[in-house]
Amino acid sequence: MNARLRYVAALLAPFLAGLAVAAGEESIELQDAPGRDLVVARCSSCHSVDYVQMNAPVLDRAGWQKSVRKMIDQFGAPIGEEDAQRILEYLATHY
Amino acid sequence: MVTRRRVLAGSIGGLLLSGLRTDAFAAAPSASELLTALPGKRPLIKRTFRPPNYETPLADLRSQITANDSFFVRYHLASIPDVDPSTWRLRIGGASAKRPLELSLDELKRGFERLELAAINQCSGNRRGLFTPRAGGVQWTYGAMGNALWGGVRLRDVLNRAGVNGDALEVVFDGADGAALPGTPDFVKSLPVDRALDAHTLIAFEMNGKPLPHWNGAPARLVVPGWTATYWVKHLTSIKVEPKAFDGFWMKSAYRIPTGAFPGARFASQENAQTTPITEILINSLVTSHANGDRLERGRPAELAGWAWDGGSGIGAVEVSLDERRSWRQTTLGAAPSPYSWRGFRMALDTAKPGPVQIAVRATGRNGARQPEQLTPNPSGYHHNIIQTLTLEVV
């Protein structure tokens, strides 16, 4: 599978898993870089990843760190330390 | 009772609008904005797809009453059921309710005095995207608000049917919408008991004479005129009268402002030394006739117009300055259907001379409150109500 197909598959994964995915959100294109598929797979269990783009001008690394911790600690996202670190690295580097 | 809405939007016509204008003082929130239509809605400015957060474009805020199909949409959690009104039930109970009861929509509609009230529904974070320094969260500009006629019954009447004990401190509200994960705090809000018993607090099932739209809380929602929209719980299913402060995430951790930083009603049972819940809408105004950067044709009559509103004291004056706030002149005010509604203002603009026209607008309430010059910084970007400035150009 090429990168584009992998990305689309990641975007569609929650839909295939029976989650409510909003029409239109498959059009969201996050920056193609290591960590993207993980971000899409984990974050889009609960929300569309346009949240990432929307907050890009607002959050620096510390802000993204706080945001990722909030999702895990307060919103109950089942994401382990290793994945959390990879997600943070992607967000802080590319957004 | 509820069926899950598997795919939120069936067909979506997306349209990219570039170079949308913003305040002279504000950082542009984004270079482009996507107009997208949710089912039953006109195209609105898409902030996020899921949960759906869509704001009303300026052009749709020009009428006294904001249309149902262009009214903004705001959710925290993405599991939003299609509630079947025929099987929907509202449960009223709690430790401080004497006679817990359950009402069908029909019983709610027939069993209590009905009334209709015009009121602003404004998100606490409206204009967050214009904050300096910037604040995280949904990057709204001007359209996370609208003015509608809410039809329903008094919450007070329903609570009195259940019987409110003397020890009641807060009333707690839950709706049918929920989170994707079990660990995510459900969106549950509380009100001080006196605000819940206020004659203007409604359980509404109509909006502008029509059944509440799905995206605005069908079949019934809370209407708390004068207070920000976070309290206007949608898809209402449960009301609990309690003798103690509700300690859920959406009260204890979210929707809070620094204690003492802003005017407005106090929510004493939820306050601590550092933070307190946001409560009333602060005085504000919005020019809807023009956007910053618009051009006016030389010699052609032009009128500046818009709305002013506050938390219910009513608007006393709206003034415009054309000389960088050195002098102010009164505008002509329109009618206000209720003190909780916005009130129109208008003023003719002189288009005889070519060149820039620098405009500042400030509203003053009947209670003497006036729009401030400076933002009061707060981490969540609430209460953006500074004097609006825009520059038009006569050509």
Domain boundary assignment for chain B? 15-73, 82-277, 284-394
Cβ–Cβ of B136/A57 closer than 8 Å?
Answer: no
Cβ–Cβ of A27/B179 closer than 8 Å?
Answer: no
Cβ–Cβ of B134/A57 closer than 8 Å?
Answer: yes
Q: In CATH, what number does B284-394 get?
A: 2.60.40.650
Q: Which of A28, A40, A52, A54 to mutate to test the interface with B (most CBs of B within 10 A)?
A: A54
Question: For residue A8, what are the domain limits?
Answer: 3-94
Q: How many domains does chain A have?
A: 1
Cβ–Cβ of A23/B184 closer than 8 Å?
Answer: no
Q: Is the pLDDT of residue A17 over 80?
A: no
**pLDDT < 70 positions in chain B:** 1-32
Confidence of residue A21 (pLDDT cuts 50, 70, 90): confident
Domain B82-277, CATH class in plain words: alpha beta
Q: Is the pLDDT of residue A3 over 80?
A: no
Annotate chain B with three-state secondary structure: CEECCCECCCCCCCEEEECCCCCCCCCCCCCEEEEECCCCCCCEEEEECCCCEEECCHHHHCCCCCCHHHCCEECCCCECCEECCCCCEEEEECCCECCCEEEEHHHHHHHCCEEEEEEEEECCCCCHHHCCCCCCCCCCCCCCEEEEEEEEEEHHHHHHHHCECCCCCEEEEEECCECCCCCCCCCEEEEEHHHHCCCCCEEEEEECCEECCHHHCCCCEEECCCECHHHCCCCEEEEEEECCCCCCHHHHCCCEEECCCCCCCCCHHHCCCCEEECCECCCEEEECCCCCCCEECCCCCEEEEEEEECCCCCEEEEEEECCCCCCCEECEECCCCCCCCCEEEEEEECCCCCEEEEEEEEEEECCCCECCCCCCCCCCCCCCCCCEEEEEEEC
Q: What is the pLDDT of residue B359?
A: 98
Q: What is the pLDDT of residue B32?
A: 58
Q: What is the pLDDT of residue B14?
A: 35
Q: Is the pLDDT of residue A12 over 90?
A: no
B183 Cβ under 8 Å from any chain A Cβ: yes
If contacts are CB pairs under 8 Å, which of residues 26-85 in chain B contact chain A? Answer: 27, 29-30, 36, 46-52, 78-80
Q: What is the pLDDT of residue B29?
A: 43
CATH number of the CATH domain containing A90:
1.10.760.10
B132 Cβ under 8 Å from any chain A Cβ: no
Q: What is the pLDDT of residue B28?
A: 41
CB pairs below 8 Å between A and B: how many? 91
